[in-house]
């Protein structure tokens, strides 16, 4: 599907054909995520074009099952093409079991397997079950990365396979010069350039609406080491069926907007120069995502800054209609 991606197997005892992917660069990894999202949107829109607008969610599900349609088909084909056991699949299995055990009251967000620092299912399809990836090429060398959270990770250099196996299993060979533990900034207090501007934000929360429920995910990340620079809003839909909760297709929306849904958000390059962006999606899906990603701004590395009442995370399902100020999140 993507000729520049390689895959290898580190754990010979696993059932995976391959357990880590290799990308030529971090930029190529994020380009792959964007391309997969485009493919998902195109395939979903093609299916929706065959379906009447006024049918119920239940009828939509029936027609999708008959047609073999699923919004994750693109990601499943991607993983199957590489015989790859992804973080996406691991979290999906754990989350489905967890959701089915939940009642009608409050859910504990800290117990939700989907509350992973890699928020995005498409991005999860590119990482191993242990949050790993390898970046590089044969002529320039490879670096193995195991991500701990958004700003901390472990690197293994010089293609030290034994060290990679150890780190993958959770062991850190501290006396090995090929192994580097990177500990960076974690909090908004460290990340913001002033009290009036934030450059790292994440928020996850549930909202209940009768027999429906949504989860909202809002995120701003600027990690120059990985080239991860984006602002995103994601809405996940749930329904109760046969006495159990599960992710379900329902009409939901997500967006990055101004204080009004029709208005542009105002973002700040490195907390200085203002620029405007707007992205809204509304679909009948299990999840809907709006993201704005970039690498450069006027020749410099993009650093997305957030100021009060300038950028809002928009989420909608039925009577739930939310516009949440990114700045007020943490």
Tokens of 252: 């939901």
Q: Give the pLDDT of residue 241.
A: 85
224 and 163 in a single domain? The answer is no
Q: Give the pLDDT of residue 185.
A: 62
DSSP state of 107: -
CA distance 160 to 142: 10
CA distance 119 to 255: 15
Residue 111 lies in a domain: no
Sequence-distant (6+) residues with CB within 8 A of 68 are: none
Query: By the 8 A CB rule, do 85 and 128 touch?
Result: yes
The helix (H) or strand (E) run that includes residue 325 is strand 320-325
Pure H helices in the chain: 26-48, 57-67, 73-81, 87-100, 121-124, 161-168, 188-191
74 and 177 in a single domain? The answer is yes
Structural domain that includes position 64: 6-89+125-149+152-185
Q: Give the pLDDT of residue 286.
A: 95
168 and 213 in a single domain? The answer is no
31 and 137 in a single domain? The answer is yes
Residue 77 lies in a domain: yes
pLDDT tens for 174-196 read 899 999 999 876 544 444 445 79
Q: Which residue, 185, 200, 229, sits at the end of a domain? A: 185
239 and 270 in a single domain? The answer is yes
Residue 16 lies in a domain: yes
Q: Give the pLDDT of residue 14.
A: 77
Q: Which residue, 133, 166, 185, sits at the end of a domain? A: 185
174 and 211 in a single domain? The answer is no
Specify burial of residue 300 (Cβ count, 10 A radius: 0-12, 13-18, 19+).
Answer: exposed
Residues of the chain with pLDDT under 50: 187-193
Residue 105 lies in a domain: no
170 and 197 in a single domain? The answer is no
How many domains is the chain partitioned into structurally?
A: 2
Q: State pTM to two decimals.
A: 0.93
166 and 193 in a single domain? The answer is no
277 and 315 in a single domain? The answer is yes
Q: Give the pLDDT of residue 152.
A: 94
Tokens of 71: 């919004």
């Amino acid at each position: 599907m993507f000729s520049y991606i390689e895959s290898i197997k580190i754990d010979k005892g696993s059932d995976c054909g391959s357990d880590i992917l290799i990308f030529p660069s971090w930029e190529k990894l994020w380009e792959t995520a964007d391309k997969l999202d485009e493919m998902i949107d195109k395939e979903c829109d093609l299916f929706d074009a065959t379906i009447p607008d006024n049918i119920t969610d239940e009828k939509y599900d029936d027609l999708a099952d008959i047609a073999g349609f699923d919004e994750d088909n693109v990601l499943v084909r991607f993983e199957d093409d590489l015989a790859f056991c992804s973080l996406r699949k691991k979290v999906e299995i754990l989350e489905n079991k967890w959701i089915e055990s939940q009642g009608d009251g409050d859910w504990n967000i800290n117990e939700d397997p989907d509350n992973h620092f890699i928020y995005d299912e498409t991005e999860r399809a590119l990482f191993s079950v242990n949050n790993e990836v390898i970046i590089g090429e044969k002529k320039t060398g490879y670096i193995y990365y195991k991500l701990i959270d958004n700003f901390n990770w472990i690197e293994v250099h010089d293609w030290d396979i034994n060290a990679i196996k150890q780190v993958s299993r959770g062991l850190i060979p501290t006396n090995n010069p090929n192994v580097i533990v990177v500990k960076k900034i974690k909090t908004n207090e460290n990340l913001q350039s002033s009290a009036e501007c934030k450059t790292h934000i994440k928020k996850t929360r549930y909202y209940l609406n009768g027999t429906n429920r949504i989860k909202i995910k809002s995120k701003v990340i600027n990690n120059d080491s990985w080239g991860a620079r984006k602002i995103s809003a994601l809405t996940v839909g749930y329904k109760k069926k046969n006495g159990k909760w599960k992710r379900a297709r329902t009409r939901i929306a997500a967006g990055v907007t101004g204080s009004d849904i029709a208005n542009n958000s105002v973002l700040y390059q490195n907390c200085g120069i203002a620029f405007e962006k707007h992205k809204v999606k509304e679909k009948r899906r299990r999840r809907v995502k709006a993201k704005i990603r970039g690498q450069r701004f006027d020749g410099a590395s993009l650093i997305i800054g957030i100021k009060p009442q300038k950028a809002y995370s928009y989420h909608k399902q039925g009577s739930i209609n939310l516009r949440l100020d990114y700045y007020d999140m943490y």
